[in-house]
Amino acid sequence: MKKNIVLFILFVLPIVAYLFFASGVNSFTKLPVITTKVADFGNWKSLKNEKVSLNGKITILGFSGTNLLKNRGNYFNLNEKIYQRYHTFKDLQFVVVCPLGTEIQAAKLMDNLDDFTDVSQWHFIFTSPEEITKYYNQLKLVGKLDADLGTPNVYILDKERNLRGRKEKKGYKEGYSTFHPADLSNEMLDDFKVILYEYRAALKKNHNATKQL
């Protein structure tokens, strides 16, 4: 009996503990709202000449700055770790806010991504430096844009235009670094799954309510 108990402690408990923590504690809770009802985009120029809106879409939002091609590795990381897994989800979009004058860089970046990815859910939109600063400030983030009006971080916004992020000891995790693939593979992927689960659960609940009617 003692031998079985020892074996259980040595082999079974570590496996159970690993499975629990690997599943992500954050997955068992609703992802907190950091900023409510952020503004929708203005009438900004799109690389595809489309009107891009936050309404009704789960949005992964980024700010490129003036050096898109220099930082293209960040977009390749995001594309590989998140976009390629979920881009077929029709209510999802990846939007990058860029300064006017960077259209050629964005087009080259899209061409590079298009070599191995369906880029239909990627959107690059362009506006003035003043508008970018104003828009970013209303997100009410602790982190700031760099001198080139960019950041390696991307942010999750839900369909109601709420900025979402996980609760941490020192506040909230506002964004996810595209420079560090591990940040995307672990924390962002975990949090993104929470958002998807929320909407799938809501759809299922609404479907069941309709059937009852």
The CATH number of residue 121's host domain is 3.40.30.10
3-class state of residue 46 by DSSP = strand
Asked if residue 86 is part of any domain, the answer here is yes
Asked if residue 118 is part of any domain, the answer here is yes
Residue type, 136: Y
Express each pLDDT in 170-202 by its tens digit: 788 889 999 999 999 999 999 999 999 988 887
Asked if residue 188 is part of any domain, the answer here is yes
> Is 50 exceeded by the pLDDT of residue 138?
yes
Asked if residue 8 is part of any domain, the answer here is no
Chain centroid to CA 40? 17
Asked if residue 213 is part of any domain, the answer here is no
Q: Pick the residue with more confidence: 45 or 101?
A: 101
Predicted local confidence at residue 169, as pLDDT = 80
Q: Pick the residue with more confidence: 169 or 102?
A: 102
pTM confidence score:
0.82
Predicted local confidence at residue 11, as pLDDT = 59
**Could you give the number of structural domains in the chain?**
1
Asked whether 164 and 32 are in contact (CB, 8 A), the reply is yes
**Residues of the domain holding 74:** 29-204
Asked if residue 159 is part of any domain, the answer here is yes
Q: Pick the residue with more confidence: 204 or 83?
A: 83
> Is 90 exceeded by the pLDDT of residue 167?
no
Two tokens at 213?
């009617």
The torsion angle over the Cα atoms of residues 118, 97, 60 and 116, rounded to 10 degrees, is: 20
